[in-house]
Amino acid sequence: MPTWSYDSYCNDNVMEYINDNSLIAKNVIEDMMDNLKDYPSEFDLEFIIGVSMYCIRNNIDFCKDFLRTIRDVMDWLVEEGKFKNWINKEKRIKKVKYERKIIANLIAGKKLKFGKLIEKPSEFKNLNDYY
């Protein structure tokens, strides 16, 4: 599935989930926590972060426990992830660290504003063909 940016939500798997599901925080939390069961792959962790970041950028409020879980997933991914399918591993790691700061600010109770989401362009270089 195509990936058009290093932002976690910018791939077709995340967008397919978003389009197929109503974005109610409770449902997203349940779905993402289900993905964390039974030894999730790096792909699963990337997907969880992507869906969560899309929701956050669309002003869906998550409880602090879920945000802490997402932060922990990001920490594990940065420390242990291989990022082997990304064209530029360092750019992806940098983006995950930036998204982690967003999560940390939300946990601290800060109100954040976001710009427009990065939409899928008609032509682009696929940054991670594993998706």
What is residue 129's predicted lDDT score, i.e. its pLDDT?
78
CA distance 26 to 94: 29
Q: What are phi and psi of 32, to 5 degrees?
A: -70, -35
- Give yes or no for a contact between 56 and 25, defined as CB atoms under 8 angstroms apart: no
Per-residue pLDDT at 23 exceeds 80: no
Q: pLDDT band for 94, please (50, 70, 90 cuts).
A: very high
Q: pLDDT band for 57, please (50, 70, 90 cuts).
A: very high
Structural domain includes residue 119 = no
Q: pLDDT (tens digit, 9 = 90+) per residue, 8-20? A: 999 999 999 999 9
Domain enclosing residue 27, as ranges: 12-107
Q: Is the pTM of this model over 0.75?
A: yes
Structural domain includes residue 118 = no
Structural domains of the chain, count: 1
Task: State the distance between the two ends of the chain, measured CA to CA, in whole angstroms.
Answer: 5
Structural domain includes residue 121 = no
